[in-house]
Structure 1
Amino acid sequence: MSEKNKAILEEANAANAAGNYEGFLSFCTDDTKWTFVGDKTLNGKEAVRQYMAETYIEPPKFTVANLIAEGDFVTAVGDITLKDKDGKATDYSYCDIWRFRGGKLAELRAFVIKLEVKDETSSVP
């Protein structure tokens, strides 16, 4: 089951990266719940659809460093770049913990941290 869930997440993320948000949503349960720790919670596929329409002005660029599957859970760790409506890119590191139910993405617990650009001229480490 673990490897199957991992393959499902990879396929869903490929759709997302290609800008096929409805394709991605087809992998989610209708009552999917997304919790962005310290920020907000989205309840249901429609809330996720609205979030994606507002946030993914361009398809996100993902770099997955680790994809770990066990039981009904798949954890993805990596980096993501999002562009805003002005075309400015912002980089984040993330850890997504996905819970599967019936072969679909039922719940997300996401830890997302904006990466700050370091000032190379600063003498402070």
Structure 2
Amino acid sequence: MSEKNKVILEQANAAITKGDNDSFLSYCTEDTKWVFIGDKTLQGKEAVRKYLASAYVEPPKFMVENLIAEGEFLTAVGKIMMKNEQGQMVNYSYCDVWRFRDGKMAELKAFVIESN
């Protein structure tokens, strides 16, 4: 199961980097829940769709450093570069903890900080 979840996340991330939000969302459950620690919580696929449309006006660039899997959980650690509201590219470090259910991404806890 752990290796399968890694492949699913890699395929989903590949869709995001191409700007294909709908394909990315096909890897999520309808009731997916995203918690950005210290910021906001998104509940459901439609909320995530709206977030992706506003946050990823231009597709982000990912560099996954580690994928650590155990059971239904997969942790991704890496860097992401994306444009801010002023249109400037900003670097972030992140740690995403995904919970999978029935082969789909059901929950995300994201720890994201701006970095150099």
Which category describes the TM-score, using the shorter chain as reference length? over 0.9
Deviation per residue, 1:15-53 (Å, 9 max, x gap): 011110000000000000000000000000000000001
Aligned match of 2:61? 61
Work out whether residues 97 and 109 of structure 1, in 8 Å CA contact, stay in contact via their aligned partners in 2. yes
**Percent identity for Structure 1 against Structure 2:** 66
> 2 CA distance for matches of 1:42 and 1:113?
18
Aligned match of 1:123? none
Work out whether residues 57 and 84 of structure 1, in 8 Å CA contact, stay in contact via their aligned partners in 2. no
Structure 1 residue 87: Cα displacement: 3.0
Q: Which has the higher mean CA deviation after the structures are superposed, 4-13 or 81-90?
A: 81-90
Work out whether residues 21 and 52 of structure 1, in 8 Å CA contact, stay in contact via their aligned partners in 2. yes
Deviation per residue, 1:59-97 (Å, 9 max, x gap): 010000001111001100000001135431011000000
Query: Which secondary structure state, in structure 2, belongs to the residue aligned with residue 9 of structure 1?
Result: helix
TM-score using structure 2 length: 0.96
Structure 1 gap segments, 5+ residues each:
118-125
Structure 2 gap segments, 5+ residues each:
none
Aligned length: 116
RMSD: 1.0
The answer to whether residue 84 in structure 2 is matched with residue 93 in structure 1 is: no
Work out whether residues 57 and 85 of structure 1, in 8 Å CA contact, stay in contact via their aligned partners in 2. no
| AA aligned opposite 1:4 | K
Structure of greater Rg: 1
> 2 CA distance for matches of 1:28 and 1:46?
11
> 2 CA distance for matches of 1:84 and 1:40?
17
Aligned match of 2:28? 28
